[in-house]
Amino acid sequence: MMAMAHPKLTLRPYLAKDTAVLREIFHDSIADLTDEDYTPAQQEAWASVADDEAEFGKRLGSQLTLVAMLETSPAGFASLASGNKIDMLYVHPAAAGQGVGAMLADALEKLAGGRGAEKLVVDASDSARDFFEKRGYVAQQRNTVSVGDEWLANTTLHKQLAVKREAS
């Protein structure tokens, strides 16, 4: 195949048939992009959340899940849960640093805002925290969550979507 200098990046809604490849993206993203912040045991516990493909598909399907396509291949995905919470944002390591995450976050912010949400909430991994802060998310609190036999730290951040109305 001919190398493409500017591969085309697009978004589309999640389809049930995407589940297996999104599970791979989830695994590879955690394995390759979070190793500076989490131990191998923590990464393994985190990735094992998607071990049950049917369960993972149910989670993706029950949320507003978008898939980023680089040409014809999924390169990342993001999901919005309960109107104003970003539940998942994962980019394949081979596609990292090319604007895939920004495009997904941008789309979720627009969708949440369009549905009337005034702010977006995210429990960001330590590996993704700078990414979110760069986009205007503000840290609220540190959390430690139990995943399998491990404890993982993350940070709750908020981004104001609508202009705050003055109290009248």
Point out which residues bind ligand ACO (CB under 6 A): 29-30, 33-34, 86, 88-91, 96-102, 122-125, 127-128, 130-131, 134
User: Which residue type occupies 66?
Assistant: L
* Shortest CB 66 distance to ligand ACO, Å: 13
Helix axes 53-62, 19-33, angle to 10 degrees: 100
Q: Are strands 73-81 and 119-125 parallel, antiparallel or unpaired?
A: unpaired
Task: Select the residue whose beta carbon is closest to ligand ACO and give its number.
Answer: 101
CB 161 within 8 A of CB 113: yes
Q: Which is nearer to ligand ACO, 19 or 34 (CB)?
A: 34
* Shortest CB 124 distance to ligand ACO, Å: 5
Q: Which residues share a beta bridge with 75?
A: none
CB 147 within 8 A of CB 139: no
- Using CA atoms, how far apart are residues 28 and 142, in angstroms rounded to an integer? 25
Q: Which is nearer to ligand ACO, 100 or 161 (CB)?
A: 100
Owner of token pair 């980023």: 68
Distances (CA, A) of 43 to 39, 90, 132: 6, 14, 20
Q: Which is nearer to ligand ACO, 34 or 57 (CB)?
A: 34
Q: Which is nearer to ligand ACO, 48 or 127 (CB)?
A: 127
* Shortest CB 79 distance to ligand ACO, Å: 8
* Shortest CB 168 distance to ligand ACO, Å: 35
Q: Which is nearer to ligand ACO, 161 or 168 (CB)?
A: 161
